[in-house]
Amino acid sequence: MEDIDVVWFKRDLRLSDHAPLKSGIESSRRVLLVYFFEPSLITAPQSDDRHWQFVYQSLMEMNTRLSPYHARVHVVYQEVVPFFTHLANEFNIVHVFSHQETGIKVTYDRDKAVGEFFQRTGIRWEQFRQQGVNRGRKDRLNWNKDWHSLMLAPQLSCELGNGDFVTLSTEFLYGTGSLPIPAAWKFSHPSRQKGGETLAWKYLNTFFHTRISNYSSHISKPEASRKSCSRLSPYLAWGCISMRQVFQMAEKARTGGGSARNIVNFQSRLRWHCHFIQKFEMECSMEHASINRGFQAISKANDAELYQAWESGHTGVPLIDACMRCLITTGYLNFRMRAMLVSFLTHYLWTDWQKGANHLARMFLDFEPGIHYPQLQMQAGVTGINIVRIYNPIKQSKDHDEEGLFIRKWVPELTMVPNAYVHEPWLFPYLEANFVGFQLGEDYPFPVIDLEKAAKHARKCLWELQKLPEVVEDGKRILRKHTLPTNRWA
């Protein structure tokens, strides 16, 4: 049998600054490129077709760019171990290269099973760091320094012309049990960002050349942020561009006389992006349970009707509904609006964060487990170490969508409601509302809760919970394990 190496693509769908691909190309053997659509992951409650459409688009672009080199990423719709078992009957697999993945329990269990298979069969598996995340860390000592060193290191050049690639036949792939790609994944939604390395670089270039000028001033605004933010999050989440490539482009812009304040603010968020993934890497139980054990035994109302109103965008609170409907359609919201949705669910509706975790994961085109779960818990106020923020949706609405442009865009039922009442349509006088043809309760629902009473209840309960001895004690453990040193280079 022929000796071969394998490059296994995961959340790293690019052909540049890619350590596994570089290693495969530079090996002395022919190399097989492969990506797995794993049925166990496809059916996970966090998964949605929007994710796999984005991934499929990214893979198709990669294969277009690989075709001049008589190469392609083999797209396999099958679990990983059965494929490698079948492949090992035809080739002697010497080395498998991949990036480490900080993923959900499904991918964690898969990696354990794959590792055991490789160990049994004598296949060497080399996994490379991604996003500046260190596996096996016990604390954050020197984490900032390590992260900056990686971000400033030279990018890796993958010389595709030097590769000697293996191409498997369609018959072989179907012989392994690989399923046909669903037609839905080949669909391109007109309101969602499309996948691919080329588009990632397009967004990056337009951001630093023009859009960044309003970054800091528009970052919290639900409509303006859609242009003024980088919009790189799905490309980073699925690896169409590396964090190092983005950081170094920011450095080039900063030292080249760009908008220093905006660029520094943006760079700080790149570091926080990786900080949260590192946090999840070190404590992945956050996928299912509150990181602060003192909160794990606390039960909330979890009213099914209230939850359904939140999930579908029919709470009767305009900005909440606009944000959810926008997210469902486009897969994107800015950070403040995401935090507000979580706050409304967990504080105003007094619902456990776990209840909404999977829905938001499915809706976020940029679903990144390492950011998703730590942020959910932080905004839900169950860490015991962060300031609890109960976002007032009316204040947020008036502050960041003053004229109701975003609200009317996503809640057209309020089109005829004037600016004075678009944030609180229940205050619209009956006669005036009737004159413009608007009737609350028929055209748009009454609020599902009394906002003032709900906020008061949440503040009281959360304040009492924060003082529980078990919450305070576990907060100390969390601080020791996850807090970054004050020195940014430490």
Same domain, 304 and 441: yes
CATH number for the domain harbouring residue 227: 1.25.40.80
Same structural domain, 28 and 107:
yes
Residue 157 lies in a domain: no
- Which three-class secondary structure state does DSSP give residue 396? helix
Asked whether residue 147 is assigned to any structural domain, the reply reads no
Using a 10 angstrom Cβ sphere, with 0-12 exposed, 13-18 middle and 19 or more buried, the burial of residue 212 is buried
264-323 pLDDT, tens digit each: 999 999 999 999 999 999 999 999 999 999 998 788 989 999 999 999 999 999 999 999
Give me the pLDDT at residue 256, please.
80
> Has residue 236 been placed in a domain?
yes
Q: Is the pLDDT of residue 440 over 80?
A: yes
**Of residues 435, 402, 433, the one with CA closest to residue 417:** 433
Domain with 253 in it: 196-282
Considering the domain architecture, whether residues 411 and 464 belong to the same structural domain is answered as yes
Choose between 323 and 132: higher pLDDT.
323
pLDDT above 90 covers a percentage of the chain that reads: 91
pLDDT band at 33 (very low <50, low <70, confident <90, very high): very high
Q: What angle do CA 362, 184, 369 make, to 5 degrees?
A: 25
Q: Are residues 297 and 271 in the same domain?
A: no
Q: Assess if residue 393 is contained within a domain.
A: yes
Asked if 356 and 370 touch (Cβ cutoff 8 Å), the reply is: no
Is residue 489 included in any domain, yes or no? no
Strand partners, 124: 95
Please, what is the Cα angle at 333 between 466 and 305, to 5 degrees? 65
User: Is the confidence at residue 487, as pLDDT, over 70?
Assistant: no
What's the pLDDT tens digit per position in 464-479? Answer: 999 999 999 999 999 9
Residues 277 and 391 occupy one common structural domain: no
Distance CA 55, CA 140 (A): 32
Q: Do 253 and 317 sit in the same domain of this protein?
A: no
CATH of the domain at 414: 1.10.579.10
Instruction: Pick the range with the lowest mean pLDDT from 3-7, 285-289, 328-332, 483-487.
Output: 483-487
Do 229 and 363 share a domain, yes or no? no
Contacts of 9 (CB under 8 A, 6+ apart): 20, 33, 34, 35, 59, 73, 98
Tell me: do 375 and 470 sit in the same domain: yes
Domain boundary at 230, 257, 282, which? Answer: 282
Q: Each residue of 179-208: pLDDT tens digit?
A: 999 999 999 999 999 999 999 999 999 999
The CATH number of residue 59's host domain is 3.40.50.620
Same-domain check for residues 254 and 335 = no
Q: H helices then E strands: how many in the chain?
A: 24, 5
| Region 82-91 average pLDDT | 96
Co-location of 437 and 297 in the same domain: yes
Q: According to the model, what pLDDT value does residue 486 have?
A: 57
- Among 255, 282, 309, the domain boundary falls at 282
Please state, in angstroms and as integers, the Cα–Cα distance from residue 381 to each residue in 323, 458, 478, following that order: 21, 10, 14
367 and 476 part of one domain: yes
Domain assignment present for residue 119? The answer is yes
Token pair listed for 223? 């409509």
In a domain, 276, yes or no: yes
Last residue of a domain, one of 128, 149, 169: 128
Let me know if residue 396 belongs to a domain.
yes
- What is the bridge-based pairing of β-strands 30-36 and 73-76? parallel
The domain tally of the chain equals 3
Together in a domain, 412 and 315: yes
Run of H or E residues at 31: strand 30-36
